[in-house]
Amino acid sequence: MIKAKYTMLLGSLLAAALPINVSAEITAQTMADAIHDVIEADRAVYADLVVNRLAIEEEVIEASEEYHENSALPLPAQMLRTSAEKVRDKKSGFSFSLVSPWPINSQNKVKTDAEIKGMNAILKSPAKNVYSEETLAGKKYFTALYPDIAVSNSCVSCHNNHKDSPKKDFKVNDVMGGIMIRIPLSN
């Protein structure tokens, strides 16, 4: 169980996702699901209302992997990674990241047993999230892995045409990887 301190820390985050009559304690799974809902919504809004509108429809700015050098917008995956780094820096008590068997960015390669087993399960049943526990560096974590689905042609074409992509045959609605959320458990 995650204690009430996380409710205060993530109050606004959870307010939108939890029932009105929440008890003082919530489960790690409920918390992970709420965090994922916000991550997924933020990513979709950024992709649709910012990248799609400004880079594709209106063509006023480019979205680029080299956004720093090109005065461009970061790609949605880069925005998620940057958000994850900000959360890590704030020591918010949880972490999240993209993971994939076919990452463009090698830092996103599935590594831990929870990531590997979770991705294998998601590839077999993409409609199911995978929940488990793992110990990393002597600390126990609740882990939640959610499928990262190719929701648009822009996702597919970027991955299929990228020089560093190990997989070049994605289609819309394919699983491209996953979003891993880790919440530390009390010892």
SS3 135: strand
Interatomic CA distance for residues 97 and 134, integer angstroms: 15
pTM for the whole structure = 0.82
- At residue 151, what are phi and psi to the nearest 5 degrees? -90, -10
β strands within the chain, DSSP E: 95-99, 130-136, 139-149, 175-184
Nearest to residue 50, comparing CAs of 81, 84, 76, 11?
A: 76
Q: Residue by residue, what is the 3-state secondary structure of 102-126?
A: CCCCHHHECCCHHHHHHHHHHHHCC
Residue 131: strand pairing partners:
144
pLDDT tens digits, one per residue of 1-38: 333 333 333 444 444 444 444 555 789 999 999 999 99
Digit-coded pLDDT (tens) for 55-102: 778 888 888 787 888 888 888 888 999 999 999 999 888 999 999 999
